[in-house]
Amino acid sequence: MNPPLDEHARDLLERLVAPVTAGPVRLAEIEAEVARRRARRRARLAIGASVAAVVVVGAATVPAIRDSHPGPGRATDSTPSAPASPTAISTPTGVRDPAGVIGRLQGSWTLRLTNIAPDGLGFHNELMDARVEVGFRDDVLSTSDGVHAIEARVLADVLAADETADLNVYDVRTASATAAPGETDPPPPILETLSSIAHVSFQGDEVMLSAANYGIIAVLSRD
């Protein structure tokens, strides 16, 4: 018996697999499976990731708003986690931004509300067509365009590889139903929108803010 040389090894292996045939590669199944895996991955990251934005209202502003608009029934009054006092709202937490979420949000933006309701369900509301200027400086989101001044302190923990991260906004009860001083028109539902934001994603030059069901309820652009 001759020992199989290296060049014979391939021949042996070829003989073994010669009868093996295979149907055509199932590309559609592969792509569908990849899409499923990416969706599952996004879902896992949405659960595990945490980018929290705590909306705080300036301490000098909050009492005035409360005094002048004490009426019940304001939608934001039902926020379970609403703090009992302004000082409790504005607890400094520092900047945690290992994934660069806050860094990418720095500067001035035009926040454009889509006609998707704050809960992510689609229905048209003319108020939703509003645009307001918002800005990020360090970990503070602020806006005073058409509404009482709002400031949001942002914590960024994780940005997913597919550039979608959680954004959880809470404690936005204070000024949502009030117009800015001197304004006669109803205020745009900025705070309601902010309070419903669950995810943020970066798409080109724009930042999509979406509700828990991924319905895009606002878009940030550099306009």
Partner 1 sequence: MQPVTEATGEFAEYAAARWLTLVRSAVLLGCTPSEAEDVAQETLTRCLVGWTKVTAARHRDAYVSAILLNCFRDSRRSGWRRRERPVATVPDASEPDRTDLADTAAAVEAALGTLSPGQREVLTMRFYLQLGEAQVAEALGVAVGTVKSRTARALAALAADTNLADLHDGGPT
Minimal distance in Å, beta carbon 29 to partner 1? Answer: 7
| Residue showing tokens 């005073």 | 144
Which CB sits closer to partner 1, 37 or 137? 37
Question: What character string, x for contact with partner 1 (CB under 8 A) and - otherwise, covers 37-76?
Answer: xx--------------------------------------
Q: Which is nearer to partner 1, 126 or 205 (CB)?
A: 205
CA angle 81, 88, 84 (to 5 degrees): 55
Give the whole-angstrom CA distance, residue 40 versus residue 81.
Answer: 29
The region of 7-15, 58-66, 101-109, 150-158 touching partner 1 under the rule CB under 8 A is: 7-15
Smallest gap from Cβ 48 to partner 1, in A, equals 17
Beta pairing partners, 168: 52
Binding mask 9-38 for partner 1 (x = CB under 8 A): xx-xxxxxxxxxxxxxxxx-xxx-xxx-xx
Name the token pair of 129.
């067509």
Query: Rounded to an integer, what distance in angstroms lies between the CA atom of residue 68 and that of residue 24?
Result: 72
CB of 49 to partner 1, least distance (A): 15
Query: What is the b/e burial string over 79-115, where b = at least 16 CB atoms within 10 angstroms of the residue's CB?
Result: beeebeebeebbeeeeebbebebbebbeeebebbbbe
Site residues (CB under 8 A) for partner 1? 1-6, 8-10, 12-27, 29-31, 33-35, 37-38, 161-164
